[in-house]
A and B are shown apart, each in its own frame.
Chain A
Amino acid sequence: MEVFFFNYIPWFQQIIGTMPIPFEYFLFPIAYGLGLLLLEELV
């Protein structure tokens, strides 16, 4: 439902000011997150 809410109301698109992002930017944080988890386990 949120998809329709944010996607199909033009006013929201103007206000929100968000952009679609390349897929790799979903993968970098996974690597950083694994690093974070590893550090947290070791400390």
Chain B
Amino acid sequence: MTAAPENVHTIANLTRDPVAQGEKLTVESGGSNGHSTIIITGAELITLSSYQWDQLCAYEEIIFARTSPEQKLRIVRELQAHGNCVGMTGDGVNDAPSLKAADIGIAMGSGSDIAIEAADMVLLEKFSAVVVAIEYGRLVFDNLKKTVVYLLPAGSFSELWPVLLNIFFGLPQILSSFLMIVICTLTDCVAATTLVFEKPEADLLTRPPRNPKKERLANTKLIFQAYGFIGMIECTTAMAMAFWSIERAGIPFSVLWFSFGSYPPEYDPETINNAINTGSSIYFVNLVIMQFFNLMCARTRRLSILQQPPIIRKTTRNYYLFPAMGFALGVGKCPIDAFVC
């Protein structure tokens, strides 16, 4: 049984054996090498107060000897109530209730059918497979974060601002609604999907375990990175390019600013309309291309792109990224080219 209070893994051994045997077992297996260890018997267990449970959770290793199925269940419940995330391993029928109650019940493939039914995870070969499971669990969580960081800057931040500027500052909506949908349903989503194939970063298993009660998928830091940093850069450069192109077409920004769609008569409506449509396409292309670079940023959470290269090195490469970029550019160019022929 493994529990994780904040940064420390507490190992609790549950055994039906008497104290002496239980002690011998862990000493032999090298379990208690210099760490603080405590041995509690099932009879002592039921007398513990809530405060004593708190003290118990501070130990790195706890051996619960001579425990009945009810007591095992109680141990799981108490550890959970004291803020721990509990993983319980067991293979017998008597372990089934506590396997079910634990955050992650882990059964052995050779164990009883009831234990396998009650468990969330079944180990078919050896116990060390738990580490692989933890690694992949963390990888999925990490890759989801990468996808969020990749999608938010263009898909929500840079699509919101043209609308806000349109409503509050009377500027024309610089990204047309159609192109917004092209970003959300075509150009962004394939690349976002390829982030699923990202390989784990080197420090993935050395990070402290996540506290599921406090740490969410998208925290303030992640939102700030997506909106305040990447989103801000993408949005402002795209705005600058789009309005600059309109200015180059002979319509100064002061004409558009607070115009709310009514322009001075000396400007031809057809010219204005074409300039705005071109600006919209430029804003769109700017976003699509900057998203390629955002993809390179988003695919690592901690490491540099040089430490985690997307090509060549077998442990870090992800060749799906590049066809996804090609797809985005190909599909993105189609609506842009629509008027050429």
**Which residues of A pack against B, CB within 8 Å?**
2-3, 5-8, 12-13, 15-22, 25-26, 28-30, 32-37, 39-41, 43
Q: Compute how far the CA of A36 lies from the CA of B338 in the bound complex, rounded to whole angstroms.
A: 30
Q: Compute how far the CA of A19 lies from the CA of B238 in the bound complex, rounded to whole angstroms.
A: 16
Asked whether B334 lies within 8 Å of A28 as measured between CB atoms, the reply is no
Contacts of B334 in A (CB 8 A): 2-3, 5-7
Q: Compute how far the CA of A41 lies from the CA of B238 in the bound complex, rounded to whole angstroms.
A: 21
Chain B residues numbered 128-169 whose CB sits less than 8 Å from any CB in chain A: none
Q: Compute how far the CA of A25 lies from the CA of B285 in the bound complex, rounded to whole angstroms.
A: 8
Known: A2-B334, A17-B277, A19-B278. 18 other contacts (CB 8 A): A5-B334, A16-B176, A18-B176, A18-B277, A18-B284, A18-B339, A25-B282, A28-B241, A29-B285, A29-B288, A29-B289, A33-B290, A33-B292, A33-B293, A35-B233, A36-B230, A40-B229, A41-B297
Asked whether B339 lies within 8 Å of A20 as measured between CB atoms, the reply is yes
Q: Kindly provide the distance from the CB of A18 to the nearest chain B CB, expressed in whole angstroms.
A: 5
Q: Compute how far the CA of A7 lies from the CA of B330 in the bound complex, rounded to whole angstroms.
A: 13
Q: Which of A5, A8, A17, A37 contacts B176 (CB 8 A)?
A: A17
Q: Which of B178, B281, B305, B341 contacts A21 (CB 8 A)?
A: B281
**Which residues of B pack against A, CB within 8 Å?**
176, 178-179, 229-230, 233-234, 237-238, 241, 245, 274, 277-278, 280-282, 284-290, 292-294, 296-297, 304-305, 330-331, 334-341
Q: Kindly provide the distance from the CB of B175 to the nearest chain A CB, expressed in whole angstroms.
A: 11
Interface SS, B side: helix
Q: Compute how far the CA of A29 lies from the CA of B281 in the bound complex, rounded to whole angstroms.
A: 13
Asked whether A39 lies within 8 Å of B179 as measured between CB atoms, the reply is no
Known interface pairs A17-B280, A19-B278; A6-B285 also in contact (CB < 8 Å): no
Q: Compute how far the CA of A7 lies from the CA of B334 in the bound complex, rounded to whole angstroms.
A: 8
Q: Kindly provide the distance from the CB of A12 to the nearest chain B CB, expressed in whole angstroms.
A: 7
Q: Compute how far the CA of A18 lies from the CA of B182 in the bound complex, rounded to whole angstroms.
A: 12
Asked whether B281 lies within 8 Å of A20 as measured between CB atoms, the reply is yes
Interchain Cβ contacts under 8 Å between A and B, 13 examples: A3-B337, A6-B334, A6-B335, A6-B337, A7-B338, A12-B338, A18-B277, A18-B281, A28-B286, A29-B288, A36-B233, A37-B296, A40-B229
Contacts of A12 in B (CB 8 A): 338
Contacts of B230 in A (CB 8 A): 36, 40
Known interface pairs A6-B338, A25-B286, A40-B297; A32-B331 also in contact (CB < 8 Å): no
Q: Kindly provide the distance from the CB of A22 to the nearest chain B CB, expressed in whole angstroms.
A: 8
Contacts of B277 in A (CB 8 A): 17-19
Contacts of B330 in A (CB 8 A): 2
Q: B275: nearest residue on chain A (CB-CB)? A: A19
Interface centre among A5, A8, A36, A43 (most CB of B within 10 A): A36
Known interface pairs A18-B281, A36-B234, A41-B305; A13-B339 also in contact (CB < 8 Å): yes
